[in-house]
Chains A and B, each alone.
Chain A
Amino acid sequence: MSRPPAATDSQPPRRRVVVTGCGMITPLGRTTAETFARALAGESGVGYLTRFDARGLPYTIGGQIPDAWLDDQDGGFARRHRPQLALCTRLLLTAAAEAAAQARLDALPDRTRLGVAVGAHGENPSVDAAMFLHRFTDGQGRWDTAAMARSGGYDYFQFYRRKPDLAPVTLAARYGAGGPNLALVSACAAGAQAIGEGTRLIRDGRCDAMLAGGAESAIDFVGVLGFTLLKAMAERFAAPERASRPFDRKRCGFVMSEGAGVVVLEELDHARARGAAIFGEVLGYGDSADAYRITDTHPAGEGAVLAMRGALADAGLTPEAVEYVNAHGTSTQQNDVTETRAIKAVLGDHARNVAVSSNKSMLGHTIAAAGAIECILSLEGMRRGVLLPTINYEFPDPKCDLDYVPNAARNRAHRVVLSNSFGFGGQNACLCLGRWDE
């Protein structure tokens, strides 16, 4: 049902970009099907932290992925390269294996026309590593680097695990992707930006297919400490699984989570020519910057408005075409109010007719992976004609007054979705996604 901009005398028709493979690994499941099934049932993937000792921290919960779910789904590639791979890259490889298998990527003849775009931030520095370095400074800017070198130095592989660009490069190596390779570090907008940028690369004819998505694993002391110091996390809750409560009046912060989502994007004729199954279409992409404050979103959600309007304009659609918004919905006081305002500003009166829900109520916030995971869940929802719920919605907030699909999934056929991702620091991305009807 897509409506790409019509061809003009001066420009050829725009190349259409479809999704031919989806993969994810989240705290709710090791595949798209598992995650979707549990989200459909309104389950939460959040529990008490076990990855590290969180005693002393006011924040003690998260959405963690069991180690047993990794390494066995990509032919052992991640296991063989484990020392230099950050956990987020291993998650990415797992998600990509599912997407690539679904898209039958191994049968793709020309890998020079296959690109990669990934939102990821690499591994956080560990406390041990930071304190190791601390031994060699005197606090006055003087370093005993000779002693540092004599000590055996810094963990060789941590250099690689910390580099954000290792994730897309590893993916390119795994699948022999010789096309463009983008590493995006746009915080919570990175996964959506990767899919948006990948879409543009295909539209522009710079490649025919892309592995695009995001991955994050920041559930470690430094990652959690960072957001704790910024007072952004949910520290008060009745039970871990009830802590992430987007748009609920008693929401008090986000829940850190981990995961990865990868889609195979493909130019429509290219997909058809090789008989690939098509799961949906990327109709449009918009992005913006708040240019407001590093710690706050614009109170009117101006950056979010720009991104959503940009996605609609790129898709050649009017606001009335939107039937569902997969919200950024972090469960922070600030985001959920400003996002509600922004949705109303973009959709006008039509906002009252549109369902809005937050996958983060079940998954927590997977940061750089969120945009990709939510893109896939949106596509899957369109395919199945169902809207995933916002769980833990108990106490309506008068400032958040839209239909948030509270607590239970809803059967409803829908064809156009806006999927929002708003990054910490003020980077915003929005994907306009379409159901695929042959």
Chain B
Amino acid sequence: MSERVVITGAGLVTALGGDRAATWTALGGDRSGAAPVTGFDARGFACRRAAQAAAPDAGALGVSPRDAYIMGRSNLWFLQAARAALAEAGLPAAFADGTDVGCFAALGMIDPLPDDLRAAAARSRGPDGAFDPDRFYADAYREIYPLWPLAILNNVGFCMAATCLGIRGENAVFASGADAGAAALIEAADVVSAGRAAVALAGGAAEAVTPLGLARWHRQASLCPGDGPEPACRPFHPVSGGVIPGEGAAVLVLEQETAARARGAKILAVVAGWGCAGGESAVVRAAEQALTAGAGGSLAVDLWIPHGEGATARDADEAAAYRRLWPRPDAAPPVAAFKGRLGHLGPAALAADAALAVEIIRTGCVPAAWPDGAGADAAPRLPLAAAGPGAAPRTLLLGVRGWTDAVAAVALAAGETS
């Protein structure tokens, strides 16, 4: 990196709160965001719980009903997190000339909702009441709302946010898993480091939990079955029940350190390095890149926040990588994981972990990986950080792993580290 990149704002929306402070406070207790799915009858699914965020208030975000329809819940959470991050950074809510402001977003899949097609489907019914394709193709499709195509564009969340915030600089939209969130953060840091943008937003939005979305979750992850209140997602627990889908968004504001300090911005964390890899040993290689990418040689890690999704096999892979990265137990860092509390935020997962890393650096506290002290009688696969104050980590290594096994790692350090 040519210039150090720092985080000056971090917005977070999760099932535990509509902002970072609320989420952090809830994490300090014993709450989990996981709960039975609401909004639709999920009884047909094996997994019937999710960490669902509160519905976004489009009006409060200055978004018209028309634009709220185009954006959907997921992209409204992205805008909500972006606004919070900009406010914390002391930057305008909307840039008058955003040519020097970049934005790199990781967005998930957007599903066509049957309700969007309802009128067309109703008009397509034949004499027997069944759907008649000939009627649909002949002219019933004209009942579809003309802006519906916009609502299913993969990049619509970014485009609407850019319009709302006046962002006109470098950008990209990545899809669609947790590794996409890493790409967003890494490319944003690279753009800022190289001076191609003065400020860059980096983050992602989790897919809203819908019937079709939940069906897809079942195809791509090992989910916790059932809908009981027990905390079944326990990353690195020997008998974790599996993954819990999560909702929300996280957005970070990145700037060059010198510029941020010059304008008096509070430095929440330094982006100290990054790496990404695929294939064999990807977790190890990505981590090693992240720890050696910055100036000043290899970084010592005080806390590792791996992907830790709660699926037994994939957690075991990360546990093996941990032992390769730190073969000496006495020199190995403790581990934190949040997906047991917030659910799996998909493309927003890394930025969410980064937002929480900011709080860990600020407070010196590490929240418990498992809510309610659940499974405390079992020895975890990795040495989980002791919950509560006292840890005071200064350098944290974050990791994510996409559905397709693309892996990325990002090192964050306390602001005063040089």
The answer to whether residues A164 and B155 also contact, given A127-B136, A302-B168 and a CB cut-off of 8 A, is: no
Contact with A along B170-186 (1 / 0, CB 8 A): 11111111011001000
Which residue on A lies nearest to B107, using beta carbons? Answer: A185
Closest CB in chain A relative to B105 CB, distance in Å: 10
Taking CB atoms, residues of chain A closer than 8 Å to B43 are 145-146
Q: Report the stretch among B84-92, B237-245, B275-283, B384-392 that lies at the interface.
A: B275-283
Q: Does A182 contact B (CB under 8 A)?
A: yes
A148 to B233, CA, bound (A): 26
Most A CB atoms within 10 A — which of B114, B158, B403?
A: B114
Question: B153 to A425, Cβ gap below 8 A?
Answer: yes
List 9 additional contacts besides A145-B43, A147-B44; criterion CB under 8 Å: A56-B141, A130-B112, A131-B131, A177-B279, A183-B174, A185-B107, A206-B276, A310-B196, A425-B156
Taking CB atoms, residues of chain B closer than 8 Å to A345 are none
Taking CB atoms, residues of chain A closer than 8 Å to B160 are 294
Contact with A along B110-145 (1 / 0, CB 8 A): 011011011001000000000101001111010010
Question: B172 to A289, Cβ gap below 8 A?
Answer: no
Pick 11 A–B contacts, CB within 8 A, sort by A: A56-B141, A137-B114, A148-B215, A153-B215, A159-B216, A164-B154, A169-B404, A193-B172, A226-B149, A289-B167, A294-B67
Question: B115 to A139, Cβ gap below 8 A?
Answer: yes
Question: B172 to A186, Cβ gap below 8 A?
Answer: yes
Q: Does A142 contact B (CB under 8 A)?
A: yes
The answer to whether residues A229 and B149 also contact, given A133-B212, A425-B156 and a CB cut-off of 8 A, is: yes
Binding site for B on A (CB under 8 A): 10-11, 53, 55-57, 111-112, 121, 125, 127, 130-131, 133-137, 139, 141-150, 153-154, 156, 159-160, 162-166, 169, 172, 176-187, 193, 197, 200, 204, 206, 221-222, 225-227, 229-230, 287-295, 302-303, 306, 310, 423-427
SS class, residues of chain B in contact with chain A:
mixed
Question: A178 to B279, Cβ gap below 8 A?
Answer: yes
Q: Within the complex, which residue of A127, A290, A295, A425 is in contact with B155, where a contact is CB–CB below 8 Å?
A: A425
Question: A165 to B170, Cβ gap below 8 A?
Answer: no
Within 8 A of A (CB), among B80-102: 98-99
SS class, residues of chain A in contact with chain B:
mixed
Question: B107 to A55, Cβ gap below 8 A?
Answer: no
A176 to B279, CA, bound (A): 8
Q: Within the complex, which residue of A125, A131, A153 is in contact with B111, where a contact is CB–CB below 8 Å?
A: A125
Q: Report the stretch among B34-42, B304-312, B334-342, B348-356 that lies at the interface.
A: B34-42
Which residue on A lies nearest to B95, using beta carbons? Answer: A291
Taking CB atoms, residues of chain B closer than 8 Å to A137 are 114-115, 118, 211
The 9 closest A-B pairs by CB, nearest first: A145-B44, A226-B149, A425-B159, A185-B154, A146-B44, A178-B279, A169-B404, A149-B44, A164-B175
Question: A288 to B137, Cβ gap below 8 A?
Answer: no
The answer to whether residues A145 and B176 also contact, given A139-B118, A221-B137, A225-B149 and a CB cut-off of 8 A, is: no
Contact with A along B385-418 (1 / 0, CB 8 A): 0000000000000000011111000000000000
Taking CB atoms, residues of chain B closer than 8 Å to A57 are 137, 141
Q: Does B2 contact A (CB under 8 A)?
A: yes
Taking CB atoms, residues of chain A closer than 8 Å to B111 are 125
Question: A165 to B175, Cβ gap below 8 A?
Answer: yes
Taking CB atoms, residues of chain A closer than 8 Å to B276 are 179-181, 206
Interface size on B, residues (CB 8 A): 83
Most A CB atoms within 10 A — which of B45, B162, B220, B403?
A: B162
Taking CB atoms, residues of chain B closer than 8 Å to A294 are 67, 70, 150, 156, 159-160, 163
Taking CB atoms, residues of chain B closer than 8 Å to A160 are 219
Which residue on A lies nearest to B121, using beta carbons? Answer: A134
Taking CB atoms, residues of chain A closer than 8 Å to B220 are 159
A290 to B156, CA, bound (A): 13
Taking CB atoms, residues of chain B closer than 8 Å to A187 are 153-155
Question: B171 to A55, Cβ gap below 8 A?
Answer: no
A294 to B164, CA, bound (A): 11
A115 to B167, CA, bound (A): 29
Which residue on A lies nearest to B71, using beta carbons? Answer: A294
Question: A181 to B278, Cβ gap below 8 A?
Answer: yes
Taking CB atoms, residues of chain B closer than 8 Å to A222 are 112
Question: B171 to A427, Cβ gap below 8 A?
Answer: yes
Closest CB in chain B relative to A200 CB, distance in Å: 7
Question: A183 to B175, Cβ gap below 8 A?
Answer: yes
